[in-house]
Structure formats: C-alpha cells, structure tokens
Structure 1
C-alpha cells in the first residue's frame, strides 16, 4: 500500500491522474475524506471529474449507513466499494471499503484508525491521517503493481503537494 495526503482538490486531482496514466482505475484507488471535504471540493457546484465522480460514489443514494458496527459491515458488503459513514462523517471509496466488510465488526469499532490499521497502515500513521481528514485533508492510497510504479507514484504524489507520502 502507498498513501499520501492532499490539502486541496487540484493536488489530489493531479495525483489521481498520475495513477490513471499508469493504467490504474478508480476501482484500484482508495479515497478517504470527511463528508464536509467532499461537499466543499466535490459537491454539486464543482467541476465534474473522474476523481470527483469517485468521491461522489460514496455519497450516492442508498449508500449512507447508520447504526451499529455490525449493520455497517453488512451494508458495506452489500454496497461494494464505496460508502458514506455519517456517524463518523466519512466518505470511503475503493478497495479499502470492501476490505472493511471482510474485517468483521471489529474493523470499525476503532473508527477510521481501526480501518486504516486493518489495511496495513501503522497505528501512528493512521492517527495522523485521521487528524488530517478531520482537518479537511484528502487521503489517497493505492497498491502499486510493481516497484517501478511505486517509485513513480511516490515522486508524483510529492510533486503534486502530497504530504505524508508513504509505502507500506
């Protein structure tokens, strides 16, 4: 897994395009942000882009989940790869959303930190990302297919104002 955090839509868009340019699709990319960030950067009054479409998937009709962790897990499994978690104020899109369904209810009891740790991110980094997301950041992650892609994405994420760019 390789991750990076972006403070603005333009930086996140450019990083996303670097993934797309190497043949990665929206289904390969994890995207985490607060619902407020989604509304600000990817809401109805913003330009339509592929990344924006991915951000909106998690907020689509029928994908807002509430209730217990067990109900959330079941709903994530039913929805697929994108979900809105209003109780946590999060939008989660990509393989990490599907992975949460396989993690069981314990995967969400720790909120976002638990979900990130469950995907292989060390707890101290997960806590940093959680804070960044709460403060308007957009966290993007991908599993590079090979070392060449990983190096390319690290360079591109940094070139596009990515912060906390890390490989796990």
Structure 2
C-alpha cells in the first residue's frame, strides 16, 4: 500500500511539474525570467549597438534610475566604434567629452549612457581590452587579479555574472555587443526592465 501511495505521489509530482512547464510556456516565463523577484537581483542583456542600448537605458531613466545604477560592459573596439566616432549626437558628444575631446554637456539619457561608456574602467585581458563601467567595475576590482585568471569569462564571473551565462556574454562582447545591467528596486521594475530589454532587441536577457 505504501509503495503504491509513493508511486501515486511521484506521478502527481511529475504531473504538477509538467503543468507548471506548460503554464510557463503560455505566460512566456522561462529560465531567463520568473515572477519570483529577489531583492538585490540583476537584470541584464546584450545589445547589438548603441541605438538599442540607448533606448533600453531610456526605460531605466524614466523609472528614476541613474547612471550610478547601470553597468555596461563592452570591448575597447566596441566603445571606439559606437562612442568615439565623432557623430554629433548628444550620446556621441558626451562620450567624446569623457574621452577628453571636449564638447557641450548634455543631460539626456543618451548623453548619460555615453558618459558611462567613456569613463569605464579598462581591463586588459588576453587578446581583448574590456571596458567595464558602473557597479560591476567596483565588484570586479573587489575580486582582484584572481577574477581575471580565466580571461573574459573569469572577469564576468568575478563581476557577479553566473558562470552558466558568462560564456554567452563572452561571445556577445567579442562579437561587438554591449552588455547592460541594472538592479531593479522591486518586482514591478524587474519585469518591466526585462520586457523593455527584449523590446529593444536585447539578447540573452537574464536575471541573477
């Protein structure tokens, strides 16, 4: 009787898990996001260019987040391509100012994200110069040189990104992507940012 009971429980548990999986598929919930918001978690994604990153930052800015709340990661080459091309946009001008070229200071979200990129900390890695700006820069500095022993993946893990996502972000950065992340202050912001990142063509949107 006990064996049969346990067998029924196992079947019910399996059915319950399957039911949750179906529910997740219908609601769009997956490993990259779920509704169980955790305080202190980070939402991040990879953006293919400055324009998409700028639009995503605008969504953060409109919710009352500042440059101090946002982290960016990209290669030296990506920063030079997107933020130091001399284009006369507020974003480009602010980035150039931060690089020492000089221009008018802008106060828009685009200008701010350019400034974040311009003042990013440069980390020398084998075969790649990595730019890290925002809270992750401090986290990586705290990890010390040991965080860099694994190259870019080691740097990403050292800055707080889970190892299972670090390899994907490494590929994105090497392919010219811009990694942006933020720590949402509440569950509503967490879901909103995840949606906004995806709406602005972010890839590998995760919360950790």
TM-score of the aligned structures, taking structure 1 as reference length:
0.80
In structure 1, the partner of 2:39 is none
Report matched runs for 1:18-167 at 5 Å. 18-46=59-87, 47=89, 48=93, 49-58=111-120, 83-87=121-125, 88-167=128-207
How far apart in 1 are the matches of 2:77 and 2:158?
24
3-state SS in 1 of match to 2:179: strand
Max radius of gyration: which structure?
2
Q: Which runs of 5+ in 2 are unaligned?
A: 1-41, 94-110
How far apart in 2 are the matches of 1:105 and 1:9?
30
How far apart in 1 are the matches of 2:145 and 2:75?
21
How far apart in 2 are the matches of 1:22 and 1:32?
22
How far apart in 2 are the matches of 1:133 and 1:13?
17
How far apart in 1 are the matches of 2:154 and 2:54?
27
How far apart in 2 are the matches of 1:44 and 1:132?
21
1:17 aligned to which of 44, 47, 58: 58
Q: Which runs of 5+ in 1 are unaligned?
A: 59-82
How far apart in 1 are the matches of 2:129 and 2:159?
20
Q: Displacement, 1:117?
A: 1.8
Q: Displacement, 1:96?
A: 0.6
Computed over aligned residues only, the root mean square deviation of the Cα atoms, in angstroms, reads 1.4
How far apart in 2 are the matches of 1:104 and 1:50?
28
Provide the aligned length of Structure 1 versus Structure 2.
Answer: 144
In structure 2, the partner of 1:75 is none
3-state SS in 2 of match to 1:89: strand
3-state SS in 2 of match to 1:154: helix
Q: Displacement, 1:44?
A: 4.5
Q: Displacement, 1:145?
A: 1.0
